[in-house]
Amino acid sequence: MSSEIDYYELLEVTRDANDGTLKSAYRKLAMRWHPDKNPGDAAAEAKFKQINEAYDVLKDPQKRAAYDRFGHAAFQNGGPGAGGFGGGFQGGGAEFGDIGDIFESIFGNAFGGGGGGGRQQARRGADLRYDLEIGLEDAFHGKTVEIEIEVATACEPCKGSGATPGTGKRRCNLCGGHGKVRAQQGFFMVERTCPTCHGRGEVVEKPCGSCHGEGRVDQRQKLEVTIPKGVDTGTRIRLSGKGEAGPHGAAAGDLYIFLHLRRHNVFDRDGTTLVTRAPISITTAALGGQIEIPGLDGQKHVIEIPAGIQTGKQLRKRGAGMPVLNGRGVGDMVVEIAVETPTRLTARQKELLEEFRATETGEESPETKGFFDRIKEAWNDLTE
């Protein structure tokens, strides 16, 4: 370690600098003197090593206290701070103590950096998706359905710990409980997740025979799902904690139920509006009348047909549509009229229609009269 230059002077900070000031100063200087930015410059490389050495001491409260009291002697000849480097990591020397901070400042967490380099937190179980198809009537009234899924659940014998009952866990010998190990690759010191404990910092002494130390096993489960009134295709229902159990006793994820509505044989749906198409006879269209449409609410809704109605006309029945999801109120029913021309007529019916045609003046069907008037005008324009 350097014995000539004061560590605070190396980092260009005062002796009362806090952790944030130290880290900011270190990053700035390390990026400035990094060998990649100063290729072939031996002085820059030496400066870079000194900066890392200084920061490795001052960022650690115990090492910093020893340095403030004894100076460089604290780390020489068996001094009170000697042997304090490495912290249980392989190859954990001071020269490359916080190179990871440099890359994190440039790239953020794009490569999975954790910011602190310590053991990983217990990994939460994965969220799961289940697609459920229901009928339009179920969406109208609401329903409770039972589903069955296969999911990783906490192991019952070991209660999710992964250890044989009566045994426990111990600190990982490879990483010393830190969850990460370091290995030198050329000039750089690379930090990676410990392959033995997978970042947890501890290992199971005797793995559970049921889950083989994983803390979870695959099981089929039956769950009840409450479907509220007014749901539609794409509505998502979350069952908290019903997803995949986390490894080694970690919290479970959530289960998301995605709803899909089957096509109905009478109604189409547009939000809270129910839309249907109703054919009527030409006599009803001409004279007016009534039709009945059975609603999803179990009632027969009377639709008044005004005289002279045309195909495509939409009639609205207030309050006969879908309920509002998680709210109050009900949408409407819209009936689209289709005037149907008869195809099978009795002799008497044909006779009556012939009599009617004989009395037509054109005023009975203004749209037809207007159309042929425009045709006549267009023809005259072409022939003049």
Regarding whether 375 and 307 lie in a shared domain, the answer is: no
pTM of structure: 0.59
Q: How far apart are CA 37 and CA 28, in angstroms?
A: 13
65: in domain: yes
Annotated binding site: 155, 158, 172, 175, 194, 197, 208, 211
194: in domain: no
Q: What is the dihedral of CA 27, 33, 35, 38, to 10 degrees?
A: 140
Task: Tell me phi and psi for residue 381, to 5 degrees.
Answer: -65, -35
| Domain termination site, one of 18, 52, 85 | 85
229: in domain: no
**Encoded tokens for 68:** 């403030």
Q: How far apart are CA 36 and CA 34, in angstroms?
A: 5
Q: Which DSSP symbol is given to 327? A: S
Alpha carbon of residue 61 to chain centroid: 40
Regarding whether 80 and 12 lie in a shared domain, the answer is: yes
Per-residue pLDDT of the chain (384 residues; tens, 9 = 90+): 444 688 888 899 998 888 888 888 988 898 888 887 888 888 888 888 888 888 888 988 888 888 887 777 777 655 555 544 333 333 333 333 344 444 444 444 433 444 444 555 567 889 999 999 999 999 999 999 999 999 989 998 988 888 888 888 888 888 888 888 887 666 677 888 888 887 888 888 888 888 888 888 999 999 999 999 999 999 999 999 999 998 878 889 999 999 999 999 999 999 999 999 999 999 999 999 999 999 999 999 999 999 999 999 999 999 999 999 988 899 999 999 999 999 999 999 999 999 999 998 877 777 766 776 777 777 777 776
Residue 3, amino acid: S
Regarding whether 376 and 335 lie in a shared domain, the answer is: no
Structural element, H or E, at residue 187: none
Q: Which domain CATH number covers 16? A: 1.10.287.110
| Domain termination site, one of 56, 85, 114 | 85
Q: How far apart are CA 82 and CA 85, in angstroms?
A: 8
Task: Tell me phi and psi for residue 246, to 5 degrees.
Answer: -75, 155
Structural element, H or E, at residue 357: helix 347-359
Q: Which domain CATH number covers 276? A: 2.60.260.20
Regarding whether 75 and 11 lie in a shared domain, the answer is: yes
Annotated binding site for Zn(2+): 155, 158, 172, 175, 194, 197, 208, 211
Supply the pLDDT for residue 82: 53
For residue 348, give the 3-state DSSP assignment.
helix
Supply the pLDDT for residue 24: 87
Beta strands in the chain (DSSP E): 128-134, 143-154, 169-171, 180-185, 188-193, 202-204, 216-227, 236-239, 255-261, 268-270, 273-281, 289-294, 300-305, 314-317, 333-340
235: in domain: no
Supply the pLDDT for residue 373: 75
Taking CA atoms, 43 is separated from 33, 50, 54, 129, 327, in Å, by 9, 11, 16, 58, 72
Question: Could you give the number of structural domains in the chain?
Answer: 3
Regarding whether 76 and 12 lie in a shared domain, the answer is: yes
331: in domain: yes
318: in domain: yes
Q: 210, 230 in Cβ contact below 8 A?
A: no
Supply the pLDDT for residue 77: 55
User: Residue 265, Cβ neighbours under 10 Å: how many?
Assistant: 6
Q: How far apart are CA 257 and CA 234, in angstroms?
A: 9
Supply the pLDDT for residue 112: 40
| Domain termination site, one of 42, 64, 85 | 85
Can you say whether the dihedral through the CA atoms of 136, 138, 142, 147 is positive or negative? negative
Q: Which domain holds residue 63?
A: 7-85
Q: How far apart are CA 6 and CA 68, in angstroms?
A: 10
362: in domain: yes
Name the one residue in this structure whose structure tokens are 């008037």: 373
Task: Tell me phi and psi for residue 146, to 5 degrees.
Answer: -105, 130
Regarding whether 333 and 355 lie in a shared domain, the answer is: no
Antiparallel, parallel or unpaired: β 289-294 and 273-281: unpaired
Regarding whether 21 and 72 lie in a shared domain, the answer is: yes
72: in domain: yes
Regarding whether 300 and 279 lie in a shared domain, the answer is: yes
Supply the pLDDT for residue 325: 92
Residues whose CB falls within 8 Å of the CB of residue 111, separated by 6 or more in sequence, listed in order: 103
Supply the pLDDT for residue 280: 95
Q: How far apart are CA 266 and CA 274, in angstroms?
A: 9
**Encoded tokens for 353:** 């229609």
Regarding whether 326 and 358 lie in a shared domain, the answer is: no
User: Residue 1, Cβ neighbours under 10 Å: how many?
Assistant: 18
Taking CA atoms, 163 is separated from 38, 159, 200, 364, in Å, by 52, 9, 14, 90
Q: How far apart are CA 80 and CA 84, in angstroms?
A: 9
Supply the pLDDT for residue 236: 95
Could you tell me how many helices (H) and strands (E) the chain has, helices first? 9, 15
Q: What is the DSSP string of 75-132?
A: GSTT-TTTT--STT-TT--GGGTTHHHHHHHHHTTTT---SS-SPPPPPPPPPEEEEE
